[in-house]
Amino acid sequence: MVREHSPTTIHCVSLCSPRVHGIIKINNRITARNLEDQSSPYKLSIMVSTLNELSQLKYSGFGQPRPRHGLNLLYWFAKDYICFSNRDIVPMYRPRNGDFGFHPYYNRIEDDDDHIVPLQNLPYYEVGNLNARGADKLPNYVRENYSQSYPESNRDRIIVRQDASGNFNRVYVTEHSDPRRFASSRTFRVSQGLLQNIQNMSREQYLKLTSNTQEDHARFTQQHCNIETAPDNSWCTIL
């Protein structure tokens, strides 16, 4: 099951699975408020936090370090794939048509015995696989560091949920933990406000504010892998 959090500042995001009873710290500030609870009494919950600010995107580690393409992929998505109308996120193309490599995402159970995004009777689509049909139409700045011999350069994805009117009512960023699976602990919802901020920026300004230095990335990786013991009957704990 998946829980989503949006704004109210907390100081880490954590993942507790049936196989790992602990807290995996991500870094600095991610935010949380208003649970979208899809829980059941017999399953642990994966908590999806919402990124509301550029600094939160930066410290989430999504799309970093180079040659990963996630930050540029998200910039293209906000700048060229969507627009905003009456507080709706409106796609300028139909994802079901496969433009830019979009294809259905079936929200299957991942290796931690859970779904990475909420179960809903609405279609999900993903984009970001640079090997997918149509991905060659992505701008060069998204694809320029891609190499088939270096899997890290094709690790990042955007997942969207489309409502009955055709708008996107959820946007997520995630990454592959291996060639087949996405990482629940590295999946984040992206708020409409953050998408609007990105849309209004130059790519140079955006990357300057969201890219970690190598030193930042090393510190982030160390903190992300810091697992603390939690009680066996514990839900995922937010510190």
pLDDT tens for each residue of 207-224 = 999 998 655 555 545 544
Q: How far is CA 200 from CA 142, 188, 227, in A?
A: 18, 21, 38
* β-strands 227-229, 103-105 pairing: unpaired
pLDDT of residue 179: 77
| Cβ atoms of 54 and 11 closer than 8 Å | no
Which sign, positive or negative, has the C-alpha torsion 216, 217, 222, 226? Answer: positive
Q: Answer whether 26's CB lies under 8 Å from 223's CB.
A: yes
- Residue 118 CB neighbour total at 10 angstroms: 21
Predicted confidence (pLDDT) at residue 137 exceeds the cutoff of 60: yes
Segment 73-84 mean pLDDT: 99
Residues 62-91, mean pLDDT to the nearest whole number: 97
pLDDT grade for 2, boundaries at 50, 70 and 90: low
Residue 14 vs residue 123, higher pLDDT: 123
Average pLDDT value for residue range 192-209: 98
What is the amino acid identity at position 123?
P
